[in-house]
Amino acid sequence: MSGFEDDDVFDDKVETELAQRPERAASPGFSLVVVAGPSRGQTFAVAPGHPSRVLVGQSPSCDLRIDDRLVSRRHAAFEIRRGKLRVTDLDSTNGTSVQGVAVLDALLVGGEVVTMGETQIRVDRLADQAPAAIPSAVRFGSMVGASPEMRALYPLCERLSGALVPVLIEGETGTGKEVLAESLHEMGPRKHGPFVVFDCTAVPPNLVESALFGHERGAFTGATESRKGVFEEAHGGTLLLDEIGDLELPLQAKLLRALERSEVQRVGSNRWIRVDARILAATRRDLDHEIQEGRFRDDLFYRLAVARIELPPLRRRSGDVLVLAQHFWRKLASKDTPFPPEFAARITDYAWPGNVRELYNAVARRVALGELAPIATARPGAPKPAGVPRPSAKAASAADWIEEILALELPLPRARERVVEVFERRYVERVLAAHGGNVGAAAAASGIARRYFQLIKARHKG
């Protein structure tokens, strides 16, 4: 696939390929029946094609809520995989067992009894049924994915984009939580308003309150002028609170007050300012576990998790590695540069622990460095794909700067920062040169928001 195709042509090709695939065979559904414990009598049906994992626990956000003091807030998850029901213990306090045997992960066929605390859940296999129709669309806004796992999420995303309720977006690092949040904004009624992102991990704790709510001139040392916070900046639009699970408890209380009153008070002021912003929150953490450990307020959780979306990791998105890699290639490579087949062979046999972000970086490196790109995309012990050449001396020399950083013997976080700094600087220089210094065009070609591209550019200026 070459780089000149626009999004519509690309989507049509992928959708045509999906239509030509044989229909999925009928698959059994399963019923979870609570047969013992305080919540005896409750049931929940797990149907083929369910858009996300079925969560079981004490939390109100769980699909099957269990009122059992020995059950964790988010205790276990169920999902249908290849005609069987997979149960996964979610690092619960008291564990999960199947037929009396403690398990972390198990495949069930029906008839088993799953025990959590004082609760027993019988798994009943239902009659085979055709899976629910999955939309043929391969994207939602800027979110791209043709796997059944992603396509099953799009109808929920469509409904939530038109609503104004808070949404909690959960998922591992790099799964595309911010991309989904921006898509919810762009596909919704507030698309003409601002979309503001506040990263709870990027601001020093002593400045978070000012960044959220603003400050008046002279409120603290260095406050030489009044400044709006992100709530005011997002007025009439959407505010994404990214990595909300990292916000410290005292600030959680102030954030809750702002959400409840739709008002903020700048640091150094006694005046309340009315704000109207749709709130989205994203986190890589299990907030139910954080609540259980006393690190997150349950009342704030209820305020944020009116609706929730769990983004699956890339390793669970069947076939999306190539779809995403080709999509990124079209954005990053020159129009006459075809997607290299041998690169495709390498990236399909890798678990992508860094998820979509890691895949994007791998494609960006390949575009920037060509065959010299230092990329290791094979599982340990996996056979080398046919046609993939051994690394040359030139390829090894291309990674010398990494060796230089390793020689400094820095702690892992600092060493990783140095590597990212070098790559970002080289990447920004290359993409800006390719687009005549036009920041807007370079950001669009990079597949990232203009705001982030400008931040990266400024960080490496000079």
> How does pLDDT run across 379-412, given as a tens digit for each residue?
444 444 443 444 444 444 445 667 677 767 777 7
Does residue 206 sit in the same domain as residue 88?
no
Note down the domain range covering 338. 317-369
DSSP letters spanning 58-99? SSTTSSEE---TTS-TT-EEEEEETTEEEEEE-S-SS-EEET
Question: 3-class SS at 27?
Answer: strand
Does residue 344 come out as left (phi exceeding 0), alpha (psi in the -120 to 50 range) or beta?
alpha
Per-position b or e across 47-68, b if 16+ CB within 10 A of its CB: bbbbbbbbbbbbbebbbbbbeb
Does residue 154 sit in the same domain as residue 218?
yes
Distance, in Å, from the CA atom of 280 to the CA atom of 301, rounded to the nearest integer, reads 12
pTM of the model: 0.73
Q: What is the pLDDT of residue 306?
A: 92
Q: pLDDT tens, 37-86?
A: 999 999 999 988 777 789 999 998 899 999 999 999 999 999 988 889 99
Q: Is 16 contained in some domain?
A: no
Mean pLDDT of 256-261: 95
Distance, in Å, from the CA atom of 73 to the CA atom of 59, rounded to the nearest integer, reads 5
Give me the sheet containing 43-46, strands edge to edge. Answer: 43-46, 27-36, 119-129, 113-116, 96-98, 101-103
Identify the band that residue 218 occupies on the pLDDT scale cut at 50, 70 and 90: confident
Does residue 440 sit in the same domain as residue 291?
no
Does residue 166 sit in the same domain as residue 306?
yes
Does residue 303 sit in the same domain as residue 348?
no
Identify the band that residue 446 occupies on the pLDDT scale cut at 50, 70 and 90: confident
Does residue 115 sit in the same domain as residue 173?
no
Q: Is 406 contained in some domain?
A: yes
- The 10 Å Cβ neighbour count of residue 186 is 16
Counting DSSP H helices and E strands in the chain, the numbers are 17, 20
**CATH number of residue 111's parent domain:** 2.60.200.20
Of 124, 123, 101, 102, the residue nearest 113 (C-alpha): 123
Does residue 321 sit in the same domain as residue 241?
no
Does residue 305 sit in the same domain as residue 321?
no
The stretches of 218-286 forming alpha helices (DSSP H) are: 230-233, 249-261
Does residue 115 sit in the same domain as residue 144?
no
Q: How many domains does the chain have?
A: 4
Does residue 188 sit in the same domain as residue 300?
yes
**Strand pairing category for 263-265 and 119-129:** unpaired
Mean pLDDT of 111-133: 87
Q: What does the mean pLDDT of the chain come to?
A: 84
Residue with token string 């999509």: 327
**CATH number of residue 295's parent domain:** 3.40.50.300
Identify the band that residue 304 occupies on the pLDDT scale cut at 50, 70 and 90: very high
